[in-house]
Structure 1
Amino acid sequence: MLLDLEKPSDVSECQSCQIDEGRFRCLTCSGDQMFCHSCVVKAHQFLPFQKVQEWIGKCFQDKSLEELGFIWHMGHGGQPCPFSDDPQTWEDMPLDTEAGFRPTETINGQAIPTTLTIIHSTGVFVHNVVWCGCPGTKHQQHVQLLKAGLLPASTTRPRTAFTFEVLDHFLIDALECKTSASSFFEKIRRMTNNSFPDTVPVRSYKYSCQHLN
């Protein structure tokens, strides 16, 4: 019975659109539904920390939502900012007076996603983030992250963030189990990839532990 879980269901088409081939499943969601590429991304629009796998013919292989093209839009309930595709928005953006750069990178006047490493209770995730460009927001990335329930590791050009959930999780572990920050972070890395924890994408191991403390 347990071995049956290691193969796709007997239904070959996507169980959402029922058109394309269902090659993806989510280990975090309940049920054994299989999705096509576009439907699995759409189904996880508001679930960025779910673990997805792809059937490659002989077995299931881990696949991140970032690899599948998932984009995390800041603000507007997860929908794209109406100003993010307006080149004038980024051309008029003032330089950061302290750092000397514009907080959002652009190509030909178009905002490009920022790669962000996010530590959550279930593992370390990498996501492409598009910032809100509405007038009056001052384009403060760290403020947009806080509003999304993420604690940025820096207030200037953040590239690493922690969910509030993982911070609460660590607090309880430290109080009840006397878990150190380094041991807790090693656990998160193993939850991400138990076979090869050293390959987990983290920008700075010591830096992450310092923020947990």
Structure 2
Amino acid sequence: MSSCQEAPALYRCEDCFGPSLWCQSCVVSNHARNPLHRIKEWNGKFFDRITLKGLGLHVQLGHEVSDRCIRPELSSNDNFVIVDCHGIHEVALNYCACETGETKTTQLLWAWWLPSTVSDPQSAATFAVLEQYHLLSFESKVSAYGFYHSLVRQSDNTGATPIRDRYQAFMRMVREWQHLRMLKRAGRGHDPEGLAAMQPGQCANLPDDWDRVPAKKNDKADPSLGRGWQFFIEDQQFKAHLAEHVDEPQEKSTCSSHNAVNDVDTKSAKGLSATGVGAIDCARHNMKLPNGFNMDYLVFSALKGTPLKHLFISYDIACQWHKKLWNRMPRLAEDLHFNTTDKVIQFLVPKFHLPAHIDTCHTSFSFNFMKGVGHTNREAIERGCANINPVSSSTKAMGPGSRRDTLDDHFADWNWKKVVSLGLLLSRKMKEAVSEHKAHRVILEQLESTLATETLAVYKAEIEEWENDRNNPNPFESKVKSKLCKSPDDSTADMLA
């Protein structure tokens, strides 16, 4: 029954607690603080959808709900649309035009509504729906298109009532939200030097003309909001570098026939703006490094300025890639040059990928025989790929700037989840390491007890000499060649002899 008892109770709210029915006047007054609730009207046969705007509710910004504005200003064309968790809502929106009133954008933000543009916005999204989509995109990899149109159906699943299309506006607000959340997480919101002090790898900035970008899909029309200040490298300098070396042939692999090496100059890949995405990960913690996506260029970009003195660089085809690496470095921009004089840098191949290499690689590039790496397998980046691959259903249809910003956002969330769970993870691993150390110590002592003391001493000395200088003979290489494992130049008859 209606609380006023003066008019027919024909209206119910889908989002309020309980099945109460109200008259038109009561349902409007009761929703002054909840203007985005879904209302239905009894038409004599069933409850039909009706908007609070249609019932006469006006949302007044710039004042408390109980206060009256003496100079209300109706939003232009009276067609304001709000995207919310409950659906897409048309609202009658009044701004405050008093002398002390804030800008329209500020008034919307005070209501926790993110406007779609800074000049005379016609739509906004609630902070709640932006956060909901943000988390869903991380955990379920739902596309913005699918999410938005599920809200459309939630508003009217019959299709009988046309709903103003705000998909493009929603996409713009999603990018703004991602960008603002990144700034917040990086602690940049209250930096006294502002965004102008940003440095590559720190965060991101908005181009001056971001709100006038046309809906076309190229770098000029769809620039990234973060100019190399997160995980992707700065795009223009990278493309300029590629243009200088586009005609240089790739040396063929001397190991197995690695496609990443031998197919780089094929017609199917020649001239493409991108054939995939490379990444730089911390092998121990599976964290994404800044400026480490887009192999020489991104490695030097990611390691620029690193204080680390001993580096293990792992790559599926490190045996081929590391050749002449330092000779190639001068071709890069000077700010990417890497000081190697005070560092020890060693190259390895991840454990899962190593069996596909030739025998020499199995000892020279193995984590198992490298001092200082523990039981690292360096396949962490593959686990990251499993997390990010489902996003391709969304990014494949995006422009280059939107694609980079979206991937940046997902990589940042990957790191964020790692950071907040690091305490529990390291505690668990430490407990496991203590018990495993005891067990492996017993196994090692049992093995060493089977060897003569003189033989063990010689073997340890050979290992230490090789660890200190890789030019010394590799003690892990077999000194006995099997007749079934001769070089490819041997005849089949010799191999079977």
TM-score (norm 1): 0.75
Q: Per the alignment, in what secondary structure is the counterpart of residue 151 of structure 1?
A: strand
Deviation, 1:71, is: 0.2
Aligned-residue RMSD, C-alpha: 2.2
Q: Which amino acid aligns with 1:122?
A: H
Name the structure with the higher strand share.
Answer: 1
User: Which of 163, 167, 173 does residue 205 from structure 1 map onto?
Assistant: 167
Shift of 1:119: 0.1
Q: Contact 1:113 / 1:128 at 8 angstroms: preserved in 2?
A: no
The structure-2 alpha-carbon separation of the partners of 1:53 and 1:75, relative to structure 1 and needing over 3 Å to count, comes to same
**Counterpart pick for 2:125 among 162, 165, 169:** 162
Please list every run of 5 or more consecutive structure 2 residues that lacks an aligned counterpart in the other structure.
176-497
Aligned counterparts, 1:3-152, within 5 A: 14-79=1-66, 81-84=68-71, 104=73, 114-137=78-101, 139-152=102-115
Secondary structure of 1:47's counterpart equals coil
Q: 1:47: how far off?
A: 0.6
CA contact (8 A) 1:41 1:70 kept: yes
CA distance in 2, matches of 1:16, 1:44: 14
| Deviations 1:25-83 (CA, angstroms, capped at 9, x unpaired) | 11111222111110110111101111111111111111110100000000221245432
- For residues 179 and 198 of structure 1, what CA distance do their matches in structure 2 show? 26
1:77–1:191 CA distance, 2 compared to 1 (3 A):
same
Mark the CA change 1:197 to 1:122 in structure 2 (over 3 Å): closer, same or farther: farther
- The alpha-carbon distance between structure 1 residues 72 and 166, as it changes in their structure 2 partners (threshold 3 A), is same
Instruction: Describe the superposition over 1:70-112 as per-residue Cα deviations: whole angstroms up to 9, x where unpaired.
Output: 0000022124543216xxxxxxxxxxxxxxxxxx56xxxxx98
Q: What residue number does 1:91 align with?
A: none
Q: Which amino acid aligns with 2:4?
A: C
Count, aligned residues: 175
SS class of match (2:146): helix
Corresponding residue of 2:149: 186
Q: Counterparts of 1:19 and 1:83 in 2: how far apart (Å)?
A: 30
SS at match of 2:105: helix
Q: Could you say what secondary structure the match of 2:93 adopts?
A: strand
Q: Secondary structure at the match of 2:29?
A: helix
1:6 aligns to what?
none
Matched residue type, 2:155: T
Identity %: 27
Match of residue 88 from structure 1 = none
Determine if contact 2:2/2:8 at 8 Å carries over to the other structure: no
* Structure 1 residue 201, shift from structure 2 partner: 1.9
Determine which structure has more spread, i.e. the larger CA radius of gyration. Answer: 2
Q: Which has the higher contact order (CA 8 A, sep 6+)?
A: 1
1:120-147 per-position Cα deviation (integer Å, ceiling 9, x unaligned): 011000111111122133x511111011
TM-score (norm 2): 0.33
More helix by share: 2
Runs of 5+ in structure 1 lacking a partner? 1-13, 86-103, 106-110
> Which residue number in structure 2 is paired with residue 176 of structure 1?
139
Q: Secondary structure at the match of 1:54?
A: strand
Tell me the amino acid that sits aligned with residue 49 of structure 2.
D
Q: Provide the C-alpha distance between the structure 1 equivalents of 2:167 and 2:10, rounded to a whole number of angstroms.
A: 34
Q: Contact 1:27–1:51 (CA<8 Å) still a contact in 2? A: yes
* Partner SS state of residue 76, structure 1: coil
Cα deviation 1:175-199 (Å, max 9, x = unaligned): 1101111111111111111221883
